[in-house]
A and B are shown apart, each in its own frame.
Chain A
């Protein structure tokens, strides 16, 4: 693995996916910003958890109340509210990952550019790793970066409003809580990606193989297997396995089972750097986690071999 080549490939991935990684979150957050401005002028309301904007004066009053009521916990409530207000781009991320992966090696065959890429001293293994890292790690990190910028922008905006309408300003800059959440999001991304690796690797394999309609090739066989299992054995092993790797395993490792969680704001308040570390520990101790990684390894090897053979 040549680091300079990997860097060049990731730059290429960024360039190719720039619209979905950078501009789409900016557009979505632009729409959110519009609603925030409307809420500040008293039209509708925007908020998350304990912080709700209903008019500029309402924001200032609400913040005064929040500090009064929660004291030391107020900064965390504000940090959670920032996450909630800027959460919209995260809804697009699973779709971006899914469609980028099934399109990756399919599109280059369809437009013949595979023959150009293959004329360069870049191995099929490097290409597969670059697609995986570019789509699964780089893209969400960029989305995170954009949301962080927006959160800081909102902090500045709300500080100005609060200052004018007699509210507190310090509570609007909960940097410690924010940094903790951002780090936790990064760790959550890594953890969920590792859990989901067999599914992600399957999508890459399909894109390296499917002669047409990679979406159908990716989903139909799995759907058939799930149905067949249900008919023959009346069990749901495959569906459960998929669920485990597409979110449930990572959530379970957070150790929140049996706890009463009302909505994403309470979940966010429960997630911090320390319990993310614990979640990693629990995942590493879970045999299902390792089985998934072994399956993913096999599928990625298959993707490399298929990419080597197809033009």
Chain B
């Protein structure tokens, strides 16, 4: 569909992967994966540590080789990282800013090498923090280092922003403020944001799509709206337990003599007849999908795009 960069237009998918995989010797860090991420989305990538999130992001960012086909804005990231970085911005790990530089040196450097960096904007973001511009990065607190890095990436006019655990080490006030700024001051329909975090509850409200990864495989790739409709929890009285189990729940938990079943894509009418139906938060859906319960085989969403 996109053989060269000229063929890429802003209406196409920002990321297109076909059979994208990565092996380290015998270990398959990422199993063959297909992905289409359209422009103008905020995609959450959720998975446990070692699930393959970082492997996938590194391939997308041109930080590692991979097998299969991968195009980011029409380019092969493993061969054209430098060109890609004009339009892609990322924070791939905490505290990667060069420690020997002063904050102002870092801004100087980015201003010199990045054609889409707006220094005034970065200074505006930093003015809302307590970060001293003349201080060396190594003398900043962990939180301040993250603030500087976030101020920089938010001031780069990029088409794709990739954030791997962006708010690790920040207090709750700054985290809230960061996601507000990301949504209100940065994001627009021309941009795409890919974000991984353990604090699912904090990003849930800004995501448009979510990808679950486990053991190197994409388990689910869905937009948030339909996700909320397809996963529900039903609290069922004891005598209706067998009826509920017949409808094929994907998870079950019991407390105080009542059992809660989680269903994916079950008939809403039949569920309402069982008991009280409740929509689930992202974290609950994630946990339900990740748990190896006797019901796990019922999960229709398993295997994601495969």
Contact across chains for B63 and A122 when beta carbons are under 8 A apart: no
Contacts A119-B85, A121-B83; is A111 near B98 (CB within 8 Å)?
Answer: yes
Contact across chains for B92 and A115 when beta carbons are under 8 A apart: yes
At the interface with chain B, which of A5-13, A148-156, A185-193? A5-13
A-B contact count (CB 8 A): 76
User: Which residues of chain A are near B99, meaning CB under 8 Å?
Assistant: 111, 113
Contact across chains for B82 and A126 when beta carbons are under 8 A apart: yes
Residues from 63 to 90 in A contacting B, C-beta threshold 8 Å: none
Measuring CB to CB, which residues of chain B are less than 8 angstroms from any residue of chain A? 58, 61-65, 78, 81-86, 89-93, 95-101, 105, 108-110, 112-115, 149, 153
Residues from 5 to 49 in A contacting B, C-beta threshold 8 Å: 5, 7-9, 11-12, 15-16
- In the assembled complex, 7 residue pairs joining A and B whose CB atoms fall closer than 8 Å, in A order, are A11-B109, A15-B105, A113-B98, A113-B99, A117-B98, A119-B85, A123-B81
Distance between B137 CB and nearest chain A CB, rounded to angstroms: 9
Select one of A12, A115, A123, A124 contacting B109, CB under 8 A.
A12
Is A231 close to B, CB under 8 A? no
Contact across chains for A115 and B81 when beta carbons are under 8 A apart: no
Distance between B13 CB and nearest chain A CB, rounded to angstroms: 22
Residues from 86 to 140 in A contacting B, C-beta threshold 8 Å: 108, 111-124, 126
User: Which residues of chain A are near B109, meaning CB under 8 Å?
Assistant: 8, 11-12, 120
Chain B contact residues: over half helix, strand or loop, or mixed? Answer: loop
Contact across chains for B58 and A121 when beta carbons are under 8 A apart: no
User: Which residues of chain A are near B92, meaning CB under 8 Å?
Assistant: 115, 119
Contact across chains for A121 and B93 when beta carbons are under 8 A apart: no
Contacts A111-B99, A113-B98, A311-B64; is A120 near B93 (CB within 8 Å)?
Answer: no
Contact across chains for A123 and B63 when beta carbons are under 8 A apart: no
Is A4 close to B, CB under 8 A? yes
Q: Mark A284-301, 1 if CB is under 8 A from B, else 0.
A: 000000000000000000
Is A260 close to B, CB under 8 A? no
Question: Most B CB atoms within 10 A — which of A5, A114, A119, A311?
Answer: A119
Is A259 close to B, CB under 8 A? no
